[in-house]
Amino acid sequence: MGQDPQKELKDLKTVHTFYLGLLEKNLGHGVPVPAEIKDSTNPPASADELNHNFKMWLDLIDLALTPPLVRDALKTIPGFETAHALLRYFTGKASQRSGDRDKTDCIITYLFRTPSPGDRPAAWQRPEVDSSYAFISQAALAFEAELYRALEDVSIETMPPEHVTLLQEFEYLYQELEEFRHFDQIIDSGIVQRVRELKQSLGMSFYHPDSLASLAVWNDIFGRKFDELFHDAAVQIKTFAEGIQRDGGSLLSRVDGDITVKNLSEVATKQILAEDYQVAQDEFRKVSKYKKVVDSKRPVRMATASGPRQSGPPPSAPPPPRPTIPTQQAAHGPSTNVPPPPPPQAPGIGVRSQGVSSQTLNAEVLAVAPSQAVQNAVQEGKIHSSRQAIKEHVRSSDPKVAHVFPVKNSRIILSPAEVEAFKAEYQSEKSFRADYASMMMTIVAYLSRMVIEVDEYNQKASSAYLWKPHADALGYLVSTLERLSMEADQVMAVARARGLGEKASSMSASLEKLREYAKTVSQTLQSANHNPKG
């Protein structure tokens, strides 16, 4: 790959300025610069000689800078001059060192996630984590054109056919990525290492725009999926640890082997994600191990955390049905054909002022098989995550648009009462207003989860098996809607008894909106059962 010497020198100087500022900021003091570099503003040497000197100097500095440093620094620099200069520097260098490849990964991912500003509209749209491969390919192709523009002065050789074939492997990697529902699945699959090996196998073709475009889209989508599942795992681990402490357990209590409650409660999500993957591998494996331990213990913990132990065996309860066969009746009440499963209570759903019987809840939780209980817990975790996402949106958005929450290819319009519930700060209270806000948020979160899963199911309805996890998720949401409705009714009854008829009416409207959409969910699931796909 070649470039005009004067333009290359300009890029090298831009990279040098960026690197030097980054080093000095992190070291807290100045960095001695070779005379050949320091005096380059008035050079006696040719551009080629200066380029050679800069390349050797930057090669040395590269060893002192980590990919996360470069990644985070790029986010603070306005414009794209530095990012494009770095891109041309690394493609021209075409180094096979893993650190240089990782920095190039950071640069292209940053450029893909940050379309160029100005009059020219973005040529691509960032795909959702579960977008179709066709849409992902279109985004990669559009970004590839952007890379060619950024590298217009760099000569680019044709990619060998065997490397073109290697890039086609990403279609199968995306299919695999769609199947991951838990963080430990990502870790156990070894997919991160396999992709690193694929990148290494590309050799010099790694720096070809065709490769860079495909890799940037993968980095973006996989990164978001990885972060999402990691965050969900961390929340479940910490929630489990908090539950043990609420039940009187100590931080030093052993959960499994040498794993203590203290270990679970100290999972540092932000710090781990801020590290380079290669550096944080041990931490990721540790979180994966903790997640498995929590999943294996969760059914017992959920059964005891709801209330005092019973002296005798729990009363019998009906076995859970297949979650993919709810009828339309399930949207309004129990079906005579398919009784809803007795799931554990969702975080924040319980009505403290009313008090659901702990004995009843214990019996219901124990009646669910451990594997089903784990799946239920996963769905409840997603509902909780939706609550948090909507809360963050409402609190951080402009008040004029805070009531419009984007969901997949649609949006949810929040009522004034729903917006107020997400703005409220009652989480630590044991009061009616805390129960009311919690119930309103959960109703909206249920609706959000239904909209997401219906959209995902419809996108994958023609596949052999990718549709099923979404059908199962919808089945869970519909089959637990009756429980949610009963708890909402209790809250509304208290509101009316206290003369708060407006609050009761607002919650009734929110619940009716959810029930109406549940009809669509039930019809979707009926079609899934009437038209089996495999």
Of 345, 513, 512, the closest CA to residue 435 belongs to 345
- Chain-wide mean pLDDT for the chain? 78
Higher pLDDT, 493 or 522: 493
- Per mean pLDDT, which of 115-119, 121-125, 428-432 is the most reliable? 428-432
Say if residues 144 and 213 touch (Cβ distance below 8 Å): yes
Residue 335 in this model has a pLDDT that exceeds 50: no
Q: Which residues contact 519 (CB under 8 A, 6 or more apart)?
A: 328, 331
pLDDT tens, position by position, 386-422: 888 898 889 888 888 889 998 877 889 999 999 999 9
Residue 332 is classified by DSSP as T
- Per mean pLDDT, which of 227-241, 249-263, 456-470, 510-524 is the most reliable? 510-524
Structure tokens at 464: 């052999």
Place of tokens 């991951």: 180
Structure tokens at 504: 């009761």
Instruction: Place 69 in a pLDDT band, splitting at 50, 70 and 90.
Output: very high
pLDDT value of position 529: 57
Distance between CA atoms of residues 389 and 386, nearest Å: 5
Say if residues 329 and 417 touch (Cβ distance below 8 Å): no
Q: Where are the domains of the chain?
A: 5-223, 313-530
Structure tokens at 374: 């784990």
Alpha-carbon distances, residue 512 vs 403, 404, 476, 506 (angstroms): 18, 19, 19, 10
Mean pLDDT in residue range 444-460: 89
pLDDT tens, position by position, 461-474: 877 667 888 888 89
pLDDT value of position 305: 35
pLDDT value of position 314: 38
Residue 89 in this model has a pLDDT that exceeds 90: yes
Structure tokens at 474: 């919808």
pLDDT tens, position by position, 174-223: 988 988 888 888 888 889 889 999 999 999 999 999 999 999 999 999 99
Place of tokens 């990782």: 102
Say if residues 246 and 305 touch (Cβ distance below 8 Å): yes
pLDDT value of position 364: 40
Residue 526 in this model has a pLDDT that exceeds 50: yes
Across 280-319, the runs of DSSP E, i.e. the strands, are: none
Say if residues 261 and 251 touch (Cβ distance below 8 Å): yes
Say if residues 181 and 143 touch (Cβ distance below 8 Å): no
- Per mean pLDDT, which of 326-330, 345-349, 439-443 is the most reliable? 439-443
- Per mean pLDDT, which of 27-41, 235-249, 288-302, 313-327 is the most reliable? 27-41
Place of tokens 């009652």: 426
Beta bridge partner(s), residue 256: 259
End-to-end Cα spacing for the chain: 50
Distance between CA atoms of residues 367 and 373, nearest Å: 9
pLDDT tens, position by position, 97-116: 999 999 999 999 999 998 76
Structure tokens at 122: 């973005």
Cβ atoms within 10 Å, residue 193? 12
pLDDT value of position 274: 67
Residue 14 in this model has a pLDDT that exceeds 70: yes
Say if residues 112 and 140 touch (Cβ distance below 8 Å): no
Of 221, 224, 200, 211, the closest CA to residue 168 belongs to 211
Residue 359 in this model has a pLDDT that exceeds 80: no
Residue 442 in this model has a pLDDT that exceeds 80: yes
Distance between CA atoms of residues 88 and 518, nearest Å: 52
Q: At what angle do helices 501-530 and 481-497 cross, to 10 degrees?
A: 170
Is 396 buried (19+), middle (13-18) or exposed (0-12) by CB count in 10 A?
A: exposed
pLDDT tens, position by position, 301-332: 333 333 333 333 333 333 333 333 233 333 33
Residue 224 in this model has a pLDDT that exceeds 50: yes
pLDDT tens, position by position, 153-163: 777 888 899 99
pLDDT value of position 144: 92
Is 336 buried (19+), middle (13-18) or exposed (0-12) by CB count in 10 A?
A: exposed
Instruction: Place 276 in a pLDDT band, splitting at 50, 70 and 90.
Output: low
Distance between CA atoms of residues 243 and 238, nearest Å: 9
Least confident of 130-134, 236-240, 271-275: 271-275
pLDDT value of position 360: 38
Side chain identity at 41, as an amino acid letter? T
Percent of the chain at pLDDT exceeding 70 = 78
Per DSSP, the chain holds a count of helices (H) and strands (E) of: 22, 4
Higher pLDDT, 298 or 141: 141
Instruction: State CA 530 to chain mean position distance.
Output: 33
pLDDT value of position 332: 37
pLDDT value of position 373: 61
Per DSSP, the residues of 401-438 read TTTEEEETTEEEEPPHHHHHHHH---TT--SHHHHHHH
Structure tokens at 342: 């007795």
Say if residues 104 and 212 touch (Cβ distance below 8 Å): yes
pLDDT value of position 277: 60
